[in-house]
Chains A and B, each alone.
Chain A
Amino acid sequence: MNQHAAIRFTLNGQPREIAAPPMQRLLDVLRQTCELTGTKNGCGEGDCGACTVLIDGVPVVSCLVPIVQVEGADVRTVESLAEGDQPHPLQAAFLKHGGTQCGSCAAGLLMTACAHLEHGGETDDATLRAALAGVVCRCAGYQQVIASVQAAARGGETLDGNHL
């Protein structure tokens, strides 16, 4: 086994230094090394979007990012969304409006939607469908997903703390 140079990056606001094979997928580093298993491996070739995380604020599929290219980057995963008991508005809206069923694509949808809203994206039906097209959901048929993102964008989605 080769010795691997350390990769330094920021993960959910915390500095991390990780020794990993340079071509190892960010997905595997997150799930195995960092034990953040909220990011899911759905297909391993960038087509399902379940493993979407944000790098420097933009959504990427972490199965196609070699860890060597994460050096110096700011990585955010689904685990970063809630603050303590306070859900992110998207999480609250997804819970209330049916945005998740089996939960396998939830992290991908949430992170993609999060970037879209943070960048001030439009929230009409067509724009949201295009923005979310990189994450496939096999359960929900997308309508309640779209409704959830729109509700989050409208604001005012709150939940009792004990729901999270």
Chain B
Amino acid sequence: MTAIISDHRVYTATDLDDALRFLAEHREEGWRPLAGGTDVMVGVYRDRSGGDQWLNLSRLRPQLAGIGRDGDFVHVGALATMTDLRRSALLEESCPLIGRAAAVVGATQVQNRATVGGNIANGSPAGDTLPVWLALDAELELASVRGQRRIAYGEFMTGYRRSVREPDELITGLRFQPRSGSTGRMYYRKVAPRAAQGISKVVFAAIAGWNDGRYENVRLVFGSMGPITVRARAAEQCAEGEAPSAQLGEQAAERLAADLSPINDARSTADYRLRVAKNLVREFLAGNLG
């Protein structure tokens, strides 16, 4: 199938203000932001999906690609690429799971283009970095000519590839409070059909605080286990305030079905996905992983 590419229109914004003004002026026309293009281009060429009007953000990179400290938070610009995430010493120190997740998004070629904001906006259930942001309680920044707002990443997605982003809003970045290995336990695992360059069958990010030998603020987050990235809240509650043990692992694993809704598709089976999820949660909480 060939895209009818001569029908496509692109507006290249000169800076963030220009981009927001353009989105406001053309609010009803269905223009979509174009960041690294690694999802957009597949849609355009293979599926002829996603519309044919694009707001090109490539000139916003000087404004939106930074990674830095912001008070008690670490801030990541929306146009930071997966390669930027992998290479950031600050992120490695603030939460090593971020670099690990970025390193398994496609391969180098895609990591050099794919962006944090694009990954979030695309909202694929299989997005590899998304469980980490959710496990970190990250806050998203959305900007428009009407101003900036912050929302918890956990409130951003409302359903399969649907979010609370308004048509005139742009994701400009996110922030989170650093978590280091010494103050807790963390683990990231992507299960894919091959060792590199695979679409996730299961993605798992776990972050748990550690207080006097007991878990606190437990986050057990899964991708590819439902229409959106999801926290296994029942299992989290089960672990809250408990010490690691095989028994705890078993109990929590049994409660996963309450929050996860895996499906059979061309990539895997619901049964397999749930088995893996149970094993990972069980062994994480038992203290055998991470």
Contacts and interface: CB of A to CB of B under 8 A. Distances in A.
Contact of B37 (A2, A47, A49, A65): A65
A55 B108 CA distance: 13
Interface string B25-53: 00000000010011001101110000010
A24 to B, nearest CB: 5
Interface stretch (A95-103, A127-135, A144-152): A127-135
Contacts of B3: 23
Nearest to B53: A23
Contact of A25 (B6, B12, B41, B113): B41
A50 to B, nearest CB: 11
Contact of A44 (B6, B7, B38, B46): B46
A7 to B, nearest CB: 10
Task: Give the interface size class of chain B.
Answer: 20 to 34
B12 A49 contact: no
A2 B6 CA distance: 7
A63 B12 contact: no
Contact of B6 (A1, A52, A66): A1
A123 interface: no
Given A45-B46, A69-B58, A61 B5 contact: no
A78 interface: no
Main secondary structure, interface of B, reads: mixed
Interface in B158-199: 195-197
A65 B37 CA distance: 6
B45 A130 contact: no
Nearest to A116: B108
Interface centre among B42, B45, B56, B83 (most CB of A within 10 A): B45
A144 to B, nearest CB: 19
B109 interface: yes
A163 B141 CA distance: 57
Nearest to B194: A133
A134 B42 CA distance: 16
Contacts of B5: 21, 23-24
B9 interface: yes
Nearest to A134: B107
A64 B113 contact: yes
B37 A133 contact: no
B8 A63 contact: no
Interface centre among A52, A55, A131, A133 (most CB of B within 10 A): A133
30 contacts: A2-B6, A2-B7, A21-B8, A23-B3, A23-B54, A25-B41, A44-B46, A45-B46, A46-B106, A49-B109, A52-B109, A59-B108, A61-B109, A61-B110, A61-B113, A64-B41, A65-B37, A65-B41, A66-B56, A68-B10, A69-B34, A69-B56, A130-B196, A133-B108, A133-B195, A133-B196, A134-B106, A134-B109, A134-B196, A136-B197
Closest 8 CB pairs of A and B: A134-B107, A133-B196, A22-B10, A23-B8, A64-B41, A61-B109, A134-B109, A45-B42
Given A23-B44, A45-B42, A134-B109, 12 more contacts: A21-B8, A44-B45, A46-B109, A49-B107, A55-B112, A60-B109, A63-B41, A66-B34, A68-B58, A130-B196, A131-B108, A134-B110
